[in-house]
Amino acid sequence: MAASTSSLYASSLLPKSSAKYPSLSSFPRSSLFTPPNSTNLFSSSPLSLRLSSTTTPPPSAVPSASAAAALEAQPSPASATPLKSLPFRVGHGFDLHRLEPGYPLIIGGINIPHERGCEAHSDGDVLLHCVVDAILGALGLPDIGQIFPDSDPKWKGAPSSVFIKEAVRLMHEAGYEIGNLDATLILQRPKLSPHKEAIRANLSELLGADPAVVNLKAKTHEKVDSLGENRSIAAHTVVLLMRK
């Protein structure tokens, strides 16, 4: 008898008509996921890219000593135009190069004594390439390989300071400056402790930034894979750009 009474009581709690409690299928799909009067956060990027719509044949080879002059003489392949004023932007960069005998090892514009160096189209400066990519990424621009393609003989043996100066120019053109930068170099040899301050000082000068906002770390790879076997070198960089 008690069980029967409980069943009657439970049934009395149920809705008299299912019409009062429509199923999810009766709602428009958009109303389930889109708040009223909401806007699409991804309908427009805060930074647009203006690229030249014309393609010109690659210029003849320019010696590396003339690379900077050649860059200044030609219009930039990319230009950043901010659509929305953001207080800051964050970018990440990564680069890796093989280490081979017979090449100089240049890191942050500083020539580091070593029996191996970076095999690359330009001077192979893994740190500067990484920093350039971080700045370009923060600005929403293509990576270094698209703006300075290794298929263009103009950049053969070019100093990477040319690339970083162009990245800094684009940064200022977009209305930003370096907030702070943190870079990590990964290599097994040589030890970079004796060279870190020289590298950091030169990088700060190229960026036009206070050395206090530029940080540099160096790690080994515990003898694991090509990095740990002294067959390659890599770098990571995170940069914060602040609105001027």
Tens digit of pLDDT for each residue in 55-77? 444 444 344 555 555 555 554 55
Site of tokens 């428009």: 28
Most confident of 27-41, 115-129, 219-233: 219-233
Going by their DSSP bridges, the two strands 176-186 and 116-118 should be labelled as unpaired
In 3D, which of 73, 82, 74 has the Cα closest to residue 50? 82
Question: Percent of the chain having pLDDT more than 70?
Answer: 66
Q: What pLDDT is stored for residue 78 in this prediction?
A: 57
Condensed to tens digits (0 to 9), the pLDDT of residues 192-227 reads 999 999 999 999 999 999 999 999 999 999 999 999
Instruction: Specify the higher pLDDT residue, 48 or 233.
Output: 233
Q: Is the previous residue joined to 57 through a cis bond, with omega within 30 degrees of 0? A: no
Q: Which two tokens stand for residue 137?
A: 């990424």
Q: Distances from the Cα of 233 to the Cαs of 56, 171, 207, in angstroms?
A: 34, 27, 22
Q: Which two tokens stand for residue 5?
A: 């009474």
Instruction: Give the Cα separation of 132 and 110 in Å (integer).
Output: 16
Q: Is pLDDT at 50 greater than 90 in this prediction?
A: no
Q: Is pLDDT at 114 greater than 50 in this prediction?
A: yes
Q: Quick one: 20 exposed, middle or buried, by C-beta within 10 A (0-12, 13-18, 19+)?
A: exposed
Condensed to tens digits (0 to 9), the pLDDT of residues 144-159 reads 888 878 788 777 778 8
Instruction: Specify the higher pLDDT residue, 146 or 235.
Output: 235
Is the CB of residue 115 less than 8 Å from the CB of residue 77? no
- Give the alpha-carbon dihedral of 48, 49, 54, 56, to 10 degrees: 170
CATH homologous superfamily for the domain 88-243: 2-C-methyl-D-erythritol 2,4-cyclodiphosphate synthase (3.30.1330.50)
Q: What pLDDT is stored for residue 81 in this prediction?
A: 52
Question: Residue 4: what are its φ and ψ, rounded to 5°?
Answer: -65, -40
Is the CB of residue 123 less than 8 Å from the CB of residue 160? yes
Q: What pLDDT is stored for residue 122 in this prediction?
A: 75
Tell me the longest C-alpha to C-alpha distance in the chain. Answer: 101
Instruction: Give the Cα separation of 169 and 165 in Å (integer).
Output: 6
Q: How far apart are the first and last CA of the chain?
A: 80
Question: Percent of the chain having pLDDT more than 90?
Answer: 50
pTM to 2 decimals? 0.66
Q: Is pLDDT at 54 greater than 50 in this prediction?
A: no
Q: Is pLDDT at 29 greater than 70 in this prediction?
A: no
Q: What pLDDT is stored for residue 149 in this prediction?
A: 82
